[in-house]
Amino acid sequence: MNLQDQIDKNKLPRHLAVIMDGNGRWAKQKGLYRSIGHENGTKAVREIVEACAEIHIPFLTLYAFSTENWNRPKLEVELLMKLLVSSLKKEIKTLQKNNIKLNAIGNLDALPKRAFTELHDVMDQTKSNDRMTLTLALSYGSREEITKTIKEISHKVKNNLISPGEIDESVINNHLYTQNLPDVDLLIRTSGEQRISNFLLWQIAYAELYFTETLWPDYTKNHLFEALLNYQNRERRFGKTIEQIKQ
């Protein structure tokens, strides 16, 4: 039986998040420029997006560019932004064909104008699609998001729109970039690094973490299915006892 057939369709993560890492090292290993690594990374994006839509994962979130990534060499940042624009132009077909809605989280105002416009254009064109929501985390940093959230809620308190006593987890959730997304169930990071790098800190509170050595441009459907099978064999207890879970 192939890997895909072994997956229990009733036990899929509702929200899968991926830290797509290792493009630079992939290129370096082959004696190529980092840019070639990023270009090949976009092929893996297409493969994984299509696989998730096919097996029916409702929410997929991809970490594409962090707030810290702005500190990379100017040329690399420019290339990544160009790649974003060209990928959006190219992949709109894939999104429509697979009935995928595009969403974005992060400080999008920091993006170059062309990237911002193209992104909003594709989000607009796909807004009625409902098989899967694909969220790109762009210029995203969890600390920036939490800071923004605190600022917004503070303003509401100051203007008597909400009282401090009314601030609970759902109020905070409703001010995050991810306000329309459920909590993350499974977080995958490629390339062997075992860290979170400022990604969805609040939203992964109870996520299962899965780290793999595979570099992102080499990541295929079968790697994804392996991760999903591993996830399905875990017992998520959410603080309860094993006996409570089995009941």
Binding site for Mg ion (CB under 5 A): 21
Member of 193, 220, 226, 232 binding ligand IPE (CB under 6 A): 193
Region near ligand IPE per CB under 6 A, out of 58-66, 120-128, 165-173, 204-212: 58-66
Tell whether residue 195 is a contact of ligand IPE (CB under 6 A): yes
We find the least distance from the C-beta atom of residue 68 to ligand IPE, in angstroms, to be: 6
The DSSP annotation for 22-57 comes to -HHHHHHHTT--HHHHHHHHHHHHHHHHHHHHHHT-
Name, in order, each residue with C-beta under 8 angstroms of 138's C-beta and a sequence gap of 6 or more. 64, 65, 84, 104, 105, 106, 108, 111, 115, 119
As a whole number of angstroms, the distance between CA 150 and CA 148 comes to: 6
Nearest to 203 by CA among 151, 139, 135: 135
Told to judge if 109 belongs to the known catalytic residues of this protein, a careful annotator would answer: no
Told to judge if 21 belongs to the known catalytic residues of this protein, a careful annotator would answer: yes
Q: How far is CA 32 from the centre of its chain?
A: 27
Q: Which is nearer to ligand IPE, 51 or 64 (CB)?
A: 64
Report residue 18 as tokens: 């991926």
Tell whether residue 22 is a contact of ligand IPE (CB under 6 A): yes
We find the least distance from the C-beta atom of residue 143 to ligand IPE, in angstroms, to be: 13
Beta bridge partners, 101, equal: 133
Catalytic residue among 10, 69, 107, 121: 69
We find the least distance from the C-beta atom of residue 72 to ligand IPE, in angstroms, to be: 8
We find the least distance from the C-beta atom of residue 21 to Mg ion, in angstroms, to be: 4
Q: Among the residues of the chain, which ranges form H helices?
A: 3-6, 23-29, 34-55, 74-97, 113-125, 142-158, 169-173, 221-232, 242-246
Catalytic residue among 2, 5, 8, 21: 21
We find the least distance from the C-beta atom of residue 41 to Mg ion, in angstroms, to be: 11
Region near ligand IPE per CB under 6 A, out of 42-50, 61-69, 89-97, 110-118: 61-69
Nearest to 195 by CA among 206, 216, 209: 209
Member of 12, 19, 134, 224 binding ligand IPE (CB under 6 A): 19
As a whole number of angstroms, the distance between CA 49 and CA 235 comes to: 26
Q: Which is nearer to Mg ion, 75 or 150 (CB)?
A: 75
Q: Which is nearer to ligand IPE, 90 or 195 (CB)?
A: 195
Tell whether residue 25 is a contact of ligand IPE (CB under 6 A): yes
Q: At what angle do helices 74-97 and 34-55 cross, to 10 degrees?
A: 30
- Residues binding ligand IPE (CB under 6 A): 19-25, 63-66, 68-69, 80, 191, 193, 195, 197
Q: Give the residue numbers marked as catalytic.
A: 21, 69
